[in-house]
Amino acid sequence: MLDVKNAECKRVLERSDRLCADVEVSVEGEKSTYVALFSDSKDNDFDMVMLLKKDADSDIDWYDNDLHAAYVDVTESLFQDKHGETHWGARETFKEQVLSFGTVRADVRRMLEEAKKLKVEA
């Protein structure tokens, strides 16, 4: 079980033609940082599209480059069993921990809305 120690919405990016809010997450007992990507869902909340583990050392990778192999998709490995079945309870619990941390949910909503407006204006 991953317990969120800190979470902060960093930016919005486009992934597979979807606007996603990039939330950096620190987890209790782990040195590595995670990046959770959230997009709008049909139920007026957010879907956790992907969870990446940031394996780069922040002291070395100070420029925060998310385009290299230091980011590993761990969505399936953390929330699926050996039979490939997703454990939705654990996944939803983690998602809710991240979104409920401080102002993350409000920040994600605001940043996605701003990005949508900019995209429409462009």
Domain boundaries, the chain: 4-121
Cβ 33 vs Cβ 58: under 8 Å: yes
Q: What pLDDT, on the 0 to 100 scale, is given for residue 1? A: 75
The C-alpha angle with vertex 116 and arms to 24 and 47, in degrees rounded to 5, equals 45
pLDDT, position 67? 52
pLDDT tens per residue, range 62-113: 455 555 557 899 988 888 888 878 888 999 999 999 999 999 999 999 999 9
| 4-63 confidence digits (pLDDT tens) | 999 999 999 998 889 999 999 999 999 989 999 999 998 889 999 999 998 765 555 545
